[in-house]
């Protein structure tokens, strides 16, 4: 076991290379902390501006827990890739037309990262854990003969759906005009029906040839990975973990989540991902939440990359108003943001709801809010990190998926683990398609109210759903403690790399 070989363990060095986008970096930083707490040296490689985002939280970690974790920065190739200075992450790109440039920047980081590995990382890396969206790491790992492990950022349900759809080629039978037809995802324990447009871009490649090439490269580079680490846990989706492990054969699957539970104390919860977050604002939210009864407040947040049209967002706001229930509504959105930020005051909304509603126009301390006992429902875009944070906090979900893996996550939440209710989104809104559906309203205020009542109201089914999500929250807490499956998987991962390193040494 790990503990019986302390010297070797002392020589282990895991290198993390996260994708520069908050939803991707934060879970990887948490995973890195978990490893460092097991006495394994960890280096997180990122760019200067991204490093600033989690530096405070890491400093505290070093101070309080483990000095075995460090950040090493590599310059972001702004000018070489044609991306404005000051922008080093996917969510701060001034326009999504620059997405291609962003992927170019990632590939340009290959050389500097190789340099770093060759000249400055000590001990020499035992393995690299990286975001699959940075496919050049496959070449780096091959060059240095280091095992590479993919961090995927989703769950095994997702991975299995993609794998089975891809392998069976069922999507090829459907053209884009066939969007009313449902595709049944083959080989799953549940009957999961999807429309083609709701599937990730892998199956809806669009027309940008360069992006299609990038995606193919990513898909290609997934082959030959040593393993996959997943921010999920076996108690949540055991059938799917087992089946995914079975279909991908010798690539190992370690479920290590929910990694956000590493941040136990409130200061860390609030500070996560935001260096400037102040106690004053935190106190304001906590005071508001303290003033409402248990399970009575709605938390609505559609994520940092949301593509919802202003008209649709307004419909959500008016729905929240109609419920007469207290709420916290996070309005940070990437699409036509300025327009939307003016609406609450110009329309009089802010004034009308001021006794029972808080609007957050910037970053929100999501874990801090969700883990407060007065939160009774979470209206979410179903990004995986948010979904998992909701589940881990024992809060039932109202699902409003938009694109990428979000429709899969909706199925998992509503149909597989049955802890949420659909709000009724039918059409995916991919980047660039925001105005495709007329004024962009898919979900009326009445539907918003219905879904909220369906989750928060009285009744046996609703009560059961609330109990179920509380049970999953307990399982989530236990799984990362000693004896839990995620805790065990982390031990097994360390042990596996240790064995691998010793074999390489012997040969
Ligand atoms: C330090 O680790 C313990 C558990 O190992 C955890 O409860 C605590 O929150 C950690 N401290 C910080 C600052 O993360
Ligand atoms: C993760 O842990 C479970 C049991 O807790 C085990 O069945 C599974 O094989 C482990 N995964 C890996 C890749 O070792
Ligand atoms: C804890 C964490 O990583 N939360 C992030 C999850 O993703 C949303 C965006 O989709 C961010 O706003 C959260 O900060």
Say yes or no to pLDDT of 251 above 90: no
327 shares its domain with 467: yes
pLDDT at residue number 1: 41
238 alpha-carbon distance from chain centroid: 20
Judge whether residue 275 has pLDDT over 50.
no
- What does the pLDDT look like over 417-469, one tens digit per residue? 999 999 999 888 776 666 666 667 889 999 999 999 999 999 999 999 999 99
- Confidence class for position 5, pLDDT limits 50, 70, 90: very low
- C-alpha 294/C-alpha 306 separation (Å) is 29
- Residue 354 clears pLDDT 90, i.e. is over it: yes
63: confidence class by pLDDT, cuts 50, 70, 90: confident
Residue of higher predicted confidence among 247 and 274: 247
For residues 397 and 412, state if they share a domain. yes
| Cβ neighbours around 333 below 10 Å, total | 22
CA of 245 to the centre of ligand 2 (A): 10
Segments forming the whole domain that contains residue 234: 2-154+227-257+480-506
Same domain, 414 and 300: yes
User: Could you tell me the distance, in angstroms and rounded to a whole number, from the CA of residue 302 to the centre of ligand 3?
Assistant: 10
Lowest mean pLDDT across 96-100, 147-151, 319-323, 333-337: 333-337
Work out the angle at residue 377's Cα, subtended by the Cα atoms of residues 458 and 341, and round it to the nearest 5 degrees. Answer: 130
Share of the chain above pLDDT 70, in %: 91
pLDDT > 90? residue 171? no
Please give the Cα distance from 448 to 387 (Å, whole number). Answer: 18
State yes or no: is 163 an active-site residue: no
Ligand closest to Cα of 305 equals: 3
Same domain, 33 and 147: yes
Are residues 300 and 407 both part of a single domain? yes
Per annotation, catalytic residue among 13, 24, 372, 430: 24
Predicted confidence band of residue 362 (pLDDT cuts 50, 70, 90): confident
Atom of ligand 2 nearest to the CA of 253: 13
Catalytic residue of the set 13, 30, 131, 430: 131
- To the nearest 10°, report the CA torsion of 80, 82, 85, 91: -120
Does some domain include residue 210?
A: no
- Whether 47 and 136 map to the same domain: the answer is yes
> Cβ contacts of residue 121 below 8 Å, gap of 6+?
13, 15, 43, 72
What are the percentages of helix, strand and coil residues in the chain, rounded to 5? 50, 15, 35
Q: Is 492 found in the same domain as 427?
A: no
Whether 205 is covered by a domain: the verdict is no
Residue 440 maps to which CATH number? Answer: 3.40.50.2000
Q: Kindly give the number of the ligand 3 atom that is closest to the alpha carbon of 389.
A: 1
Identify whether residues 12 and 44 lie together within a single domain. Answer: yes
From 21, 304, 329, 384, the mutation candidate for ligand 3 (largest count of ligand atoms within 8 A of CB) is 304
* Nearest CA-CA partner of 456 in 469, 447, 446, 466: 466
Q: Pick the ligand that lies closest to the CA of residue 61.
A: 1
Q: Among the residues of 366-459, which ranges form H helices?
A: 366-370, 384-392, 406-411, 445-456
For 81-90, what is the mean pLDDT?
A: 95
pLDDT given at position 429: 79
Report if pTM > 0.75.
yes
**Binding site membership of 90 for ligand 2 (Cβ less than 6 Å):** no
Higher pLDDT, 181 or 490: 490
- Helices within 347-439 (DSSP H only): 349-352, 366-370, 384-392, 406-411
Atom nearest to 385 CA in ligand 3: 6
pLDDT for res 267: 52
Strand partners, 195: 182
Spatial separation of the C-alpha atoms in residues 74 and 36, rounded to whole Å? 21
Residue 359: strand, helix, or coil: strand
Domain tally, the chain:
2
Chain-centroid distance of CA 77 in Å reads 25
Of 93-107, 271-285, 298-312, which one has max mean pLDDT? 93-107
pLDDT of residue 507: 62
pLDDT in tens, 33-62: 999 999 999 999 999 999 998 888 888 888
Which residue's alpha carbon is at the smallest distance from atom 8 of ligand 2? 489
Instruction: Answer whether residue 195 is part of any domain.
Output: no
Q: How far is the CA of 357 from the centre of ligand 1 (A)?
A: 33
Annotated catalytic residue 180:
no
pLDDT band at 308 (very low <50, low <70, confident <90, very high): confident
**Any domain includes 172:** no
Kindly state the percentage of the chain with pLDDT values over 90: 64
Residue 394's contacts (CB-CB under 8 Å, 6 or more residues apart) are 469, 470, 472, 473, 474
Residue 295 has pLDDT above 90, yes or no: yes
Mean pLDDT of all residues belonging to the chain:
89
Asked if residue 50 is part of any domain, the answer here is: yes
Question: How far is the centre of ligand 1, averaged over its atoms, from the C-alpha of 43 (Å)?
Answer: 18
Q: Determine, yes or no, domain membership for 192.
A: no
Residue with tokens 């970096």: 25
| Shared domain check, 366 and 241 | no
Confidence check: pLDDT of 407 > 60: yes
Does residue 190 belong to any structural domain of this protein? no
CA distance 28 to 223: 21
User: How many angstroms is it from 44 CA to the middle of ligand 1?
Assistant: 19
What pLDDT shows up at residue 4?
A: 42
**Rg for the chain, CA atoms, rounded:** 22
Question: What is the rounded CA–CA span in Å between residue 61 and residue 55?
Answer: 10
Ligand 1 contact via 268 beta carbon (within 6 Å)? yes
In the predicted model, what is the mean pLDDT of residues 479-494?
96
Residue 162 in domain? no
Asked whether 253 lines ligand 2 (CB < 6 A), one says yes
- Asked whether the predicted pLDDT for residue 3 surpasses 70, the reply is no
Q: Judge if 21 and 98 occupy the same domain.
A: yes
The residue ranking higher by pLDDT, 413 or 90, is: 413
Residue 274, CA atoms < 13 Å, CB-side half-sphere: 17
244 with 285, same domain? no
- Could you tell me if 498 and 406 lie in one domain? no
pLDDT at 262 over 60: yes
Which ligand lies nearest the alpha carbon of 403?
3
């Amino acid at each position: 076991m790990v503990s019986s070989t302390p010297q070797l363990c002392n020589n282990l060095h895991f290198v993390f290379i996260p994708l520069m986008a908050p939803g991707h970096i934060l879970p990887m930083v948490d995973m890195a902390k978990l490893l460092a707490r097991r006495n394994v040296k960890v280096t997180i490689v990122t760019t200067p501006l991204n490093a600033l985002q989690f530096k405070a939280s890491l400093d505290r970690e070093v101070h309080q827990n483990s000095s075995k974790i460090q950040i090493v920065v590599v310059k972001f190739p702004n000018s070489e890739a044609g991306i404005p200075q000051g922008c080093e992450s996917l969510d701060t790109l001034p326009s999504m037309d620059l997405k291609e440039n962003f992927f170019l920047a990632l590939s340009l980081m290959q050389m500097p990262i190789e340099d770093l590995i060759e000249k400055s990382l000590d001990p020499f890396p035992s393995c690299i854990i990286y975001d699959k969206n940075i496919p050049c790491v496959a070449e780096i790992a091959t060059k240095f003969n280091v095992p590479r492990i993919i961090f995927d950022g989703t769950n095994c349900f997702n991975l299995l759906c993609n794998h089975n759809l891809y392998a069976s080629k069922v999507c090829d039978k459907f053209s884009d005009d066939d969007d009313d037809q449902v595709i049944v995802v083959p080989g799953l324990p549940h009957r999961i029906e999807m429309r083609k447009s709701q599937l990730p871009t892998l199956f809806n490649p669009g027309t940008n040839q360069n992006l299609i090439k990038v995606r193919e490269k990513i898909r290609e580079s997934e082959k030959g990975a040593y393993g996959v680490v997943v921010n999920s846990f076996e108690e949540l989706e055991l059938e799917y973990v087992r089946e995914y492990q079975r279909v991908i054969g010798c690539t190992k699957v370690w479920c290590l989540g929910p990694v956000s539970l590493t941040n136990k104390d409130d200061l860390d919860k609030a500070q996560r991902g935001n260096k400037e977050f102040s106690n004053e604002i935190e106190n304001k939210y906590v005071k508001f939440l303290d003033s409402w009864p248990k399970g009575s407040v709605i938390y609505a947040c559609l994520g940092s990359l949301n593509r919802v049209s202003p008209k649709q967002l307004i419909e959500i706001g008016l729905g929240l108003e109609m419920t007469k229930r207290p709420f916290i509504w996070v309005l940070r959105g990437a699409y036509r943001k300025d327009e939307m930020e003016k609406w609450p005051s110009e329309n009089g909304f802010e004034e009308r709801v001021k006794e029972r509603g808080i609007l957050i126009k910037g970053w929100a301390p999501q874990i801090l809010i969700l883990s407060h006992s007065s939160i009774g429902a979470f209206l979410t875009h179903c990004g995986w990190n948010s979904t998992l944070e909701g589940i881990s906090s024992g809060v039932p979900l109202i699902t409003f998926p938009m694109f990428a893996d979000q429709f899969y996550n909706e199925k998992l939440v509503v149909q597989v683990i049955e802890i949420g209710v659909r709000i009724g989104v039918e059409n995916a809104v991919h980047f660039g398609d925001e105005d495709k559906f007329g004024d962009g309203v898919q979900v009326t205020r009445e539907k918003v109210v219905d879904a909220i009542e369906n989750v928060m109201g009285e009744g046996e089914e609703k009560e059961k759903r609330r109990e179920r999500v509380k049970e999953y929250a307990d399982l989530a807490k236990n799984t990362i403690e000693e004896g839990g499956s995620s805790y065990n998987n982390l031990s097994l991962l360390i042990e596996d790399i240790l064995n691998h390193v010793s074999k390489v040494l012997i040969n």
